[in-house]
Structure 1
Amino acid sequence: MLKVFNFFSGFISSVTVIIFFHYINTLYELDIYKHKLMQNIPDLKEYDFIIVGAGSAGSIIAARLSDDGNNVLLVEAGGEAIPFIDIPLLTPLLQKTQIDWQYVTVPQEHACKSLVNNQSHWPMGKILGGTSRLNNMVYFLGHSLDFNSWFADYEEPIVDKGGFINLSYLKWNTPLADAVLKGIEEMSLEINNINCNLKAGFMKVQLTMENGKRWSTDQVLHERYNKTLNIITHAYVTKILIKSNKAMGIKFIKSGQAYEANATKGVILSAGTIGSPKLLMLSGIGPKMHLETLNITVIKDLPVGQQLVDHILTGIDLVTLNTSLPLSIGNVFNPKAAFEYFFMGQGPWTSSGIEVVGTFHSSLQNNNLTAPDLQIMVMPSGISQDNDLMLRKAMGLSDEDYNLLKN
């Protein structure tokens, strides 16, 4: 009987994943087609500011500048949000769709040993709201020593402090979260809201969530349409227009046609970790030797893109529990879970996949007054528990290492 249940559960989940994947891509393509038919390019007058990228930072910056009375143009390569992608539980299914840039690193010699071709997948949002539309929603500031040297006057941009970002503690979690925190308490490690004191410690995760739904930064833009904020979607910026060493505007392509827009006060790049340095280099700002090999006229020789640092991650599926957790296929597809989400903003559909976060000092550090060098994220489900549908493929784990993991 159990084998039959597992078979049908796996079959239903497989069909659901395939349908949802095609649902996102189809709506995205229809939105592009609608824009081509309408040719809804605004009158490209002169703006005070032009912002490239309507992601986690770009949307907030655009809203603030617009609130101050500036005439702002916000240009985004992706489109508007698609219905139902604000359900937190669906987060893993958003990767490798049309709303993801689907970046992949070049093969690594000394890293990514368990990944296909030694290449790491870097999900990044191609949509209004950027990666805040497809990340795991974790709001985690880290330790104050991580950024005091370069951003000592940082202020949280959350609603409770007059900002935009909506925060919420977990609306639902498995017993694993409480069990882990109990163990941490027995080890005499600190448990508190480390987003407030910015010290080492552990806590149940805070999420960018409102009423159980994903909160993303594009939501600050909706009430500002047709005022001092102008938004163009499905527009790919190809170059910054520079005159007399000053950024004066941008070139972009929309629906196969090229356009230019000018700014009197400045051009702000917020196109992401990859998009911003790429656009700078295409515009002639970057390492001279590299630009010259691509026949790009050098305007300024700068080490653009040379300081990129990625996280080192380990520990995927290394812990096996002797009991089942309620974040299972059976519970997820239970009609009660859907009812709890849509009518009460509660239940397993509000899960972002991460329940506890914390930082601590390893044995390599003798001084606990320094910034911690280790971070833990506790996840109630592993990449081997979705019937090989999405999680393993999204991470790019090779068949060989995946089979070792399962065994």
Structure 2
Amino acid sequence: MCNTFNSSSISADQVMFLGQSLVQVASLVIFLATTLPPIEKDPLGVFDRPLEDWYDFIVVGAGSAGGIVATRLSEGYDKVLLLEAGGSHIENDLTKIPLLWSALSNSNLDWKYKTIEQKHALFAFKDEVTNWPRGKCLGGTGRINAMGLIRGNPKDFDTWAKEGAVGWSYKDVLPYFKKMESIDFNLPMYSKGNKQTQYHTKGGKVRISYGCKKKPDLRGRDGPLTIVESRMTTLEYFHEQAAQELGYNRIDCNSETQLGFCRIQVNVKKGERCDTASCYLRPALGRPNLQVHLNSYVSKILFDGNVARGVEFSKDGVLYKVYARKEIILSAGVVHSPKILLSSGIGPKHHLNDIRIPVVADLPVGENLQDQMAMHFQIAINMSLATTSQKIADTENILQYLFYREGIYAQIGVDGMIFINLDQNNDAPPDIQLIFLGLAYEKGFLDGFSYKEEVKEELANRTDPNSFVVIVNLLNAKSRGKITLSTTCPSCKPVIDPMYLSDSDDVERFVKGIRFLQKLQETKSWKSIGAKLIRYDTPGHCSEEEYDKDDYWRCMVRHFANQANHQTSSCRMGSYGDVTAVVDPQLRVKGIKRLRVVDASVMRNNPSGNTNAPTMMIAEKAADLIKHSYY
């Protein structure tokens, strides 16, 4: 069990919300490291077994999808090789501690991708670019994210099926959502469907019976991932009451409906991160037919005509080639999966010709790239309820976590969220998500944004420990981007152009979402704590616009909205005749034999929420599809 922080990995510019507070506790942590049990270590030699020339399956990428696929395929007798470009997930102790997830971006566990300059967004950011954190270790991005578990709306998946992704309706995918999870909290009780009936007995007495319509069991209880509810502060109570005043009741947002207020659900077990690396892959490392190689950078797929035979990868400066008897499964993520395909000759013919890569298959790889966008708002209040850097550095809070795995460090910083449909259509998926952070808007919070220096300096003057943060997250954005190559260099990063806000409808819906946020200020609940939205326009960045007019907010969206880190669809799934699709509903690369893509890149669109749970669901279902192809 992990009992210390790896203080050597901490730097102020890595910490989004926590500022300098982590550095202040380093000496205490070093002292405790000499008195507490030693940290967990990888079994000697577990990742250094000699390579063989042939395996039944080769899985590329040990992230949220690849870790599941390799674990499931190795449950039988097939030999499975799992190649991961990064290192072990326990090399950095911070990864286990829920609250410290924001310290992992831009660390050695992050690929440190950046977008190219944006033409329609990010005007308050340095060079009009933003970071795209992607995990580079066992567990992938699921090892460095905030662990929020949101399946998406049932209608998201029904739409996939209607558009040609047969077998991916909500009814089809629900068993796999349930298979992966083990909920460890009490589900809310609902009265919907209950009917009161009066009837008379022979003696003339009136009796009342309550006939309860049995609700389907939508949650799993025996899966590898432990799911708990997380609450940061008592502010959650005020948010839930405010939501109810506006007509939004508390729900389980991973159930039949998503519109309403819900507590954040996270994959945390006994106060520590429970991701695919720790709760799927690690228990399977002792299997003789599962071989995991770290620091193994796959550069391309090897073909015999249109048949995928093997992969080429480098490790410690040596180039290797290994081959698969059955299939190669590409689970390198929304950025690296298209990069490997393009480098291997699978992609748009015109693009491959431009960079002189021989074409194996002309497919829209890297196109249809999607991401959500988010805006962060400071809400001032008249009392100290949010978690401040001072509270984070408090010795009692640190010891509470180190000894009992409880307290603020066992939380992810969220005090609930609201999903709304702007057109008030209860039959449609939500298009706005409000996330309430139980963290004060302090200077440490600003360190997580790559704002221009003059913008950051101005915003730093408005920070206040008596405040909290609300994120307005735009769901189902219409803007589409792409991932391309600028060179054939295997180690060079791809070109990422999400084309944020290129569709003006995204801006208009953002403005409507902000108007909903303003309605919360008028509720009795928020008024009771003096909640007030603080302006954060700065000179040259919307301050010239008349405040609170629609044009003002349109300007603010284009200047300050940032990536939400929920990227999908760069290797989109669809019917064989769908010209926008890279893989078919079996996740097989179209026109190519023995090659599948299994990760967030295959999603038809961005589900309503985030991509963590849908990615793992896809991996669970893919493992079944692959097994059924051979057994």
Matched, 1:301 2:355: no
The CA distance in 1 between the partners of 2:155 and 2:266, in whole Å, is: 22
Matched, 1:405 2:459: yes
Q: Which residue matches 2:225? A: 165
Give the deviation of 1:41 after TM superposition.
Answer: 5.5
Matching residue within 26, 51, 69 for 2:59: 51
Give the deviation of 1:256 after TM superposition.
Answer: 0.3
Using the aligned pairs only, state the percent identity: 32
Which of 75-84 and 322-331 deviates more? 322-331
Matched, 1:215 2:274: yes
Q: Deviations over 1:204-246 (max 9, x none)?
A: 1001100111111112112322422110000100010111211
Shift in CA distance, 75/290, structure 1 to aligned 2, threshold 3 Å:
same
Which of 85-94 and 204-213 deviates more? 85-94
Matched, 1:80 2:88: yes
Give the deviation of 1:39 after TM superposition.
Answer: 10
Shift in CA distance, 10/188, structure 1 to aligned 2, threshold 3 Å:
closer
Q: Which residue matches 1:286? A: 347
Matched, 1:194 2:253: yes
Give the deviation of 1:399 after TM superposition.
Answer: 2.2
Please give the TM-score of this superposition, normalised by the length of structure 1: 0.86
The CA distance in 1 between the partners of 2:314 and 2:20, in whole Å, is: 42
Partners of 1:142 and 1:198 within 8 A in 2: no
Q: Which residue matches 2:48? A: 40
| Amino acid corresponding to residue 97 of structure 2 in structure 1 | I
RMSD of aligned Cα (Å): 2.5
- The structure in which a higher percent of residues are helix is 1
Give the deviation of 1:10 after TM superposition.
Answer: 7.5
Q: Which runs of 5+ in 1 are unaligned?
A: 1-8, 21-30
The CA distance in 2 between the partners of 1:65 and 1:212, in whole Å, is: 29
The CA distance in 1 between the partners of 2:27 and 2:83, in whole Å, is: 31
Matching residue within 317, 320, 323 for 2:383: 323
Partners of 1:136 and 1:354 within 8 A in 2: no
Q: Deviations over 1:355-384 (max 9, x none)?
A: 21231111xx263311111111111225x5
The CA distance in 2 between the partners of 1:395 and 1:209, in whole Å, is: 26
Matched, 1:246 2:307: yes
Matching residue within 252, 255, 263 for 1:204: 263
| Amino acid corresponding to residue 95 of structure 1 in structure 2 | S
Provide the secondary structure at the position in 2 that maps to 1:85. Answer: helix
Matched, 1:372 2:406: no
Q: Deviations over 1:276-327 (max 9, x none)?
A: 000000000001111111111100011101110111212x133222222351
Provide the secondary structure at the position in 1 that maps to 2:59. Answer: strand
Partners of 1:338 and 1:349 within 8 A in 2: yes
| Amino acid corresponding to residue 123 of structure 1 in structure 2 | P
Partners of 2:47 and 2:292 within 8 A in 1: no
Which of 213-222 and 119-128 deviates more? 213-222
Matched, 1:109 2:119: yes
The CA distance in 2 between the partners of 1:403 and 1:11, in whole Å, is: 17
The CA distance in 2 between the partners of 1:165 and 1:13, in whole Å, is: 28
Provide the secondary structure at the position in 2 that maps to 1:403. Answer: helix
Give the deviation of 1:16 after TM superposition.
Answer: 5.6
Q: Which runs of 5+ in 2 are unaligned?
A: 1-17, 30-40, 161-167, 183-219, 463-631
Partners of 2:67 and 2:281 within 8 A in 1: yes
Shift in CA distance, 77/18, structure 1 to aligned 2, threshold 3 Å:
farther
Q: Which residue matches 2:136? A: 126
Q: Which residue matches 2:319? A: 258
Shift in CA distance, 194/186, structure 1 to aligned 2, threshold 3 Å:
same
Which is greater in Rg? 2
Matched, 1:335 2:345: no
Provide the secondary structure at the position in 2 that maps to 1:110. Answer: coil
Q: Which residue matches 1:142? A: 152
The CA distance in 2 between the partners of 1:127 and 1:39, in whole Å, is: 13
Provide the secondary structure at the position in 2 that maps to 1:317. Answer: strand
Shift in CA distance, 231/18, structure 1 to aligned 2, threshold 3 Å:
farther
Give the deviation of 1:161 after TM superposition.
Answer: 4.2
Provide the secondary structure at the position in 2 that maps to 1:185. Answer: helix
Give the deviation of 1:13 after TM superposition.
Answer: 4.4
The CA distance in 2 between the partners of 1:18 and 1:240, in whole Å, is: 48
Q: Which residue matches 1:276? A: 337
Partners of 1:96 and 1:394 within 8 A in 2: no
Q: Which residue matches 1:178? A: 237
The CA distance in 2 between the partners of 1:53 and 1:271, in whole Å, is: 4
The CA distance in 2 between the partners of 1:11 and 1:351, in whole Å, is: 19
Q: Deviations over 1:136-182 (max 9, x none)?
A: 11001221112222221113121334432221111x52111111011
Give the deviation of 1:395 after TM superposition.
Answer: 2.8
Partners of 2:21 and 2:392 within 8 A in 1: no
The CA distance in 2 between the partners of 1:119 and 1:12, in whole Å, is: 28
